[in-house]
Amino acid sequence: MRSNVISYLVLLSFMVAGFVTLAVAPGATQSGTEPAEEAEVPYVLPKSGPFHPEQINIANNEAIANWYRSAHADQAAEAFRHWDEEEEIAPVCAVCHAGEGFRAFHGLDGSAPGLPATPVPTGGVVDCGTCHNAGLAEIEAVAFPSGLMHPVQGVEAACLTCHQGRTAGSTVAAKVTGLEEDAPNPDLSFINPHYATAGATWLGGYGGAGFHFEGKAYSGRFFHARPVSTCNSCHEPHTLEVAFEPCLTCHQGDAPEAIRISRQSYDGSGDTSKGIKADIDANAALLLDMVRDYAATVIGVPILYEGHRYPYFFADANGDGAIDEAEGKAIAYNAWSPRMLKAAYNWKLVTSDPGNFAHNPAYALELLHDSIEALSGPLGVDMDELGLLR
């Protein structure tokens, strides 16, 4: 009953996209006087009442209710409320933060493919038409920030359009090429890979999302067991929850985070009884500490990280542990050196994907290891003593 009511409340928005079909329940009436035949009637509600939600058969009721409770439908989330003050979403952002923008980007609304011609009104979410549009079948490849054109099929086009990040290692390389490695440069600023970068992690070195250090080889796309080859192989497409039971066919553990895919320890602890996520988390924490140490001791300008405040890295010139401010506004860190920027970028890319341990653990560990190694020289840290494995 409750599920039916929830579905009915959001029904009208789905009907606009054309993905909801209603059938009048047996015995219910459209006019209130004559019985109606049981038939599928697209996109319409009964012409008159009274009627009750539970009397209306909604064929995809469960999917609607699951979507309604998911992050893709959370209208209160920052992902959809960030532009409330402007009352419109910039075209480049609307591609992933509003169904209308996504359809415009891929030409699914009849327009030419590309960024929306004008800003998109706020209030939209990742709606049914984002993933259920028949036009997705015509999309053969999705462009990544590195320049890669990755072949896709069906709904995979939606997943990889919006979970690829907005920058690549080549973005960082273009900014630092020709600059002295350990010299702070006021022209440099933090490069943000963006958020929920699962697709970027999954494609690994092939996708080129991370900064790749010269002379190093990086793992490519993470090929799991054959049945686990797409986003929907693991994620229920409407709730977005991970189905863990299939994992137990090959892995031991009581949660995805507890699964270990290797017999060796990457974080120097020697503990292989914990999930590989613990190794990634430990190395990520070490790298962030080393970025802070490098800023304070090599650059001479302490840095603070604030995860809920863009651009995340801020100045702390006097080292008092508080973000510096000017005229009531936080001062972004502006003493980046090329070496520091590369390391911080890779740290942010890895940690921006909370599922990195499942999407491509090898690639995540490689980026962290090489970034730690890059900072170890100026900091006088002995990599052998750390005991890290790549």
Spatial distance between the Cα atoms of 154 and 249, rounded to a whole number of angstroms = 27
pLDDT in tens, 312-328: 999 999 999 999 999 99
Question: Domain check: are 82 and 49 in the same one?
Answer: no
78/190 same-domain check? no
Give residue 215's region: left, alpha or beta (phi > 0; psi -120 to 50).
Answer: left
**Tens digit of pLDDT for each residue in 108-136?**
999 999 999 999 999 999 999 999 999 99
Lowest mean pLDDT among 16-25, 129-138, 308-317: 16-25
Q: Is the pLDDT of residue 337 over 70?
A: yes
Dihedral in degrees, nearest 10, Cα atoms 337, 338, 341, 345: 180
Predicted confidence at residue 44, as pLDDT, reads 54
More confident residue, 183 or 41: 183
C-alpha distances out from residue 215 to 202, 331, 370, Å: 22, 36, 11
Q: What is the mean pLDDT of the chain?
A: 89
292 & 223 share domain = yes
Residue 142 has pLDDT above 50, yes or no: yes
For residue range 249-258, what is the model confidence (pLDDT) as tens digits?
889 889 999 9
Residue 237 counted as domain residue? yes
pLDDT of residue 25: 38
Tell me the pLDDT band of 364, cut-offs 50, 70 and 90.
Answer: very high
Q: How far apart are CA 124 and CA 74, in angstroms?
A: 10
CB count, 10 Å around CB of 120?
22
**Of 1, 22, 2, 3, nearest to 238 (Cα)?**
3
Under the phi-then-psi rule, with left for phi > 0, alpha for psi from -120 to 50, and beta for the rest, what region is 302?
beta
Domains of the chain: total = 3
The residue segments making up the domain with residue 196 are: 169-300+335-386
Indicate if the pLDDT at residue 45 is higher than 80: no
- What's the pLDDT at 46? 59
Give the per-residue pLDDT at 57.
Answer: 76
d(CA 179, CA 167): 20
Over residues 199-213, the mean pLDDT reads 97
Q: How confident is the model at residue 32 (pLDDT cuts 50, 70, 90)?
A: very low
Q: 93 falls in which pLDDT band (50, 70, 90)?
A: very high
Separation CA 125–CA 276 (nearest Å): 33
> Which pLDDT does position 246 carry in this prediction?
87
267 and 207: one domain?
yes
Question: Do 237 and 194 share a structural domain?
Answer: yes
191 and 280 in one domain? yes
pLDDT at 33: 47
Are residues 342 and 284 part of one domain? yes
Residue 24 pLDDT exceeds 60? no
